[in-house]
Every structure is written in C-alpha cells, then in structure tokens.
C-alpha cells in the first residue's frame, strides 16, 4: 500500500472514530448539559487557547466561520460564551469562554471520563504516548503552514 492510500485509510478511520465518539457522547447522557459535542469542542478550544476570533476558532476546529457562528450563538444564549467586537476593527468578533462554560467543561469531563477512557482502554501507555506525539506533530505542522 503506498503512502497516499495509507493516508486516505488513516483519515477515514479518524473520521469514523470521531463519529463514534460523537454517538457515544449522545448515548451517555452528555445531552443533559444541553451542549452538543461540537459545541463542547468550541468550549474546550477556548479554554485551552483563550479568547479567539471567529476565523481562528473555525480554523482550529476545521469548520467554516458560519458554522462557528451557529455553534457559538447558542452557547452565548446559554451564557457559556461572550462575544465582543474588537475595538480596533469592528468587523472582528472575539469569543471568550465564561465561568459557566468552564463549569460545563468540568462537569462533562467528570461525567464522560469512563466513556472517553473506554476508547483508549485497549491501548498501552506507550501507544497513547505515540498518539500524543503524532497528533502534536500534525497540529504543529498545521500551525506552521497557517502561520
């Protein structure tokens, strides 16, 4: 199998993994927080990276700016996020996570710990370290290409 076929296979498996994680999210009761998995991803990126422009958040999550707007509008309505226009350029909207958004992350992580760990149960510590290294390299590559 050549490299392009391997990459296609890996990317297909990765999409399937993300789909399964999302389905388990719904089945496991995370819906009680009134937050979808994509919305949780928005909250989590904001927790890790701090306030973000819509375009930066879209890039971080591989979504379009209109998709981010749809996700964030609901989170703003729930009081989990705050949107502010940049003072120097009114076209730019900065999104900030609120304390209530951080609390949702803490609650979901606590409740979802078993579900998430289930995806990694059959991996050794060494395998998990390899995944961490590989994903870090890939994300760094993306950052370098976009920066």
- Burial letters 78-104, b for 16+ CB under 10 A, else e: bebbeeeeeeeeeeebbbebbeebeeb
Q: Is 90 exceeded by the pLDDT of residue 135?
A: no
Per-residue pLDDT of 13-64, as tens digits, reads 988 988 887 787 777 666 677 888 889 999 999 999 999 999 999 999 988 9
Per-residue pLDDT of 115-126, as tens digits, reads 778 888 899 999
Domains in the chain (CATH in brackets) are: 27-112 (1.10.10.10)
Per-residue pLDDT of 80-113, as tens digits, reads 999 998 788 878 889 999 999 999 999 888 877 7
Q: Are strands 93-97 and 52-53 parallel, antiparallel or unpaired?
A: antiparallel
Closest by CA to 39, choosing from 85, 70, 18, is 70
How many secondary structure helices (H) and strands (E) does the chain include? 6, 3
What pLDDT, on the 0 to 100 scale, is given for residue 31? 62
More confident: 23 or 131: 131
Distance (Å, rounded) from C-alpha 40 to C-alpha 1?
37
DSSP 13-29: HHHHHHHHHHHHHHHTT
Distance (Å, rounded) from C-alpha 30 to C-alpha 113?
11
């Amino acid at each position: 199998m050549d490299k392009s076929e391997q990459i296609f296979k890996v990317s297909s498996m990765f999409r399937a993994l993300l789909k399964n994680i999302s389905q388990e999210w719904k089945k496991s009761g995370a819906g009680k927080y009134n937050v979808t998995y994509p919305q949780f991803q928005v909250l989590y990126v904001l927790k890790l990276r701090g306030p973000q422009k819509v375009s930066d958040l879209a890039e971080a999550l591989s979504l379009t700016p209109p998709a981010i707007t749809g996700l964030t509008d609901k989170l703003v309505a729930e009081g989990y996020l705050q949107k502010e226009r940049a003072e120097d350029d009114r076209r730019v909207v900065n999104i900030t996570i609120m304390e209530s958004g951080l609390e949702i992350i803490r609650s979901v992580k606590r409740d979802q710990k078993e579900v998430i760990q289930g995806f990694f149960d059959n991996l050794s510590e060494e395998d998990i370290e390899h995944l961490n290294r590989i994903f870090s390299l890939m994300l760094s590559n993306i950052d370098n290409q976009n920066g």
